[in-house]
Structure 1
C-alpha cells in the first residue's frame, strides 16, 4: 500500500468511527500505542480503541497527516488532530493537538503505531484544571521512564 493511501485511509477510518477499517491497516498482531489510552494489540482491540474508547468522550474527529517520510519499513508523519469533547468541563469545545506518528511497517501493513504529541494545547482547549493536567503528565512521565531506551537518560 502506498504511503499517501495508507495515511488517508488511517485518518478517514478514525473520522468515520470505523475501527474495523483502521484495524485492517494493521498486521494481525499489530499494536496501536495511543498517547492517552496506552497499547491495544491485535485487530479486534485496535477496532475497539476507535469504536469505543475514542468515541466514549469525543465526537467529530478530524485527523490530517502531513509531510510523510518512509523507507518502506518505518513511516513518520507530522499530524494535526482534533475532536469535539463530550467531557462536562469542556462544554463542547474542540480540542486540538499536534504530533508525530511513528509507524513500523511490514508488507504494506502497520506492525506498530506510536506517537509523540503536544497534548497540552488540547487540555487547555477542554478547560482541564491544572491539577488534572499535572496528573496526566505524571502518568506519561512514568511511562516514558519505564521504556528501555530511556535507561541511560535517567541513570544518574
Structure 2
C-alpha cells in the first residue's frame, strides 16, 4: 500500500466513523497517541477511540493529509483537520487546526502514530474561555516537554 493510499484510508475511516477500518491500518500492538485524548494501544482501543471518543463531542469530521514523506519506516505528513463541535458552549461551531502526523510503519501497517498540532485556534473557534484555552495549551506543552525528555534519555 502506498503512503498516499494509507493516508486516504486513514482519513476516510475517521470521516466515516469506521473504527474497525481505522484500526486495521495499525499493527496488532499499534498505538495511536492523540493530541487531545492521549494514547490508545491495540486495535480494539484504537477502534473505540474513533467510534466513541472522537464522536462523543463532535461530528462532521474532515481530515486531509498533505505532502507525505516516507522512507518505508517512518511516514510524515502535514494535515488539516476539522470537525463540528457538539459541546454546548461551541454552539455548533466548526473547529479547524493544522498539524504534522508522524507514523512509524511495520509490515505496511502503522505501529505508532504521533502528532504535533497547533490546537489553540480550534479552541478559539469553539468559543472556549481564554482561561480554558491556556490550561489546555499548558497541558499539551508539558506533554511535549516530557516526551522530549524521554527521547533524550533513550538516546
- TM-score range with shorter-chain normalisation? over 0.9
For the pair 1:29 / 2:34, whether they are aligned, the reply is no
CA contact (8 A) 1:104 1:112 kept: yes
For the pair 1:103 / 2:98, whether they are aligned, the reply is no
- Residues 42-67 of structure 1 deviation map (CA, whole Å, 9 limit, x = unaligned): 00000000000000000000000000
SS at match of 1:77: strand
Residue matched to 1:12: 12
CA distance in 2: counterparts of 1:137 and 1:46, whole angstroms = 24
Structure 1's consecutive aligned runs of 4 or more residues displaced over 3 angstroms after TM superposition are none
After superposing the two structures, state which structure 1 stretch, 130-139 or 142-151, moved more. 142-151
SS at match of 2:115: strand
SS at match of 1:17: coil
CA distance in 1: counterparts of 2:48 and 2:113, whole angstroms = 15
- Work out the number of aligned pairs and report it: 151
- Residues 26-55 of structure 1 deviation map (CA, whole Å, 9 limit, x = unaligned): 000000000000000000000000000000
Structure 1: gaps (5+ residues)? 152-156
CA distance in 1: counterparts of 2:24 and 2:63, whole angstroms = 18
CA contact (8 A) 2:90 2:126 kept: yes
Residue matched to 1:149: 151
SS at match of 2:139: helix
RMSD: 1.0
CA distance in 2: counterparts of 1:58 and 1:15, whole angstroms = 11
Q: How does 1:89-128 map to 2 (within 5 A)?
A: 89-128=89-128
| Residue 150 (structure 1) shift | 5.8
- Residues 59-115 of structure 1 deviation map (CA, whole Å, 9 limit, x = unaligned): 000000000000000000000000000011111010001000000001110000010
CA distance in 2: counterparts of 1:105 and 1:78, whole angstroms = 17
| Residue 149 (structure 1) shift | 2.8
CA distance in 1: counterparts of 2:8 and 2:145, whole angstroms = 33
Structure 2: gaps (5+ residues)? none
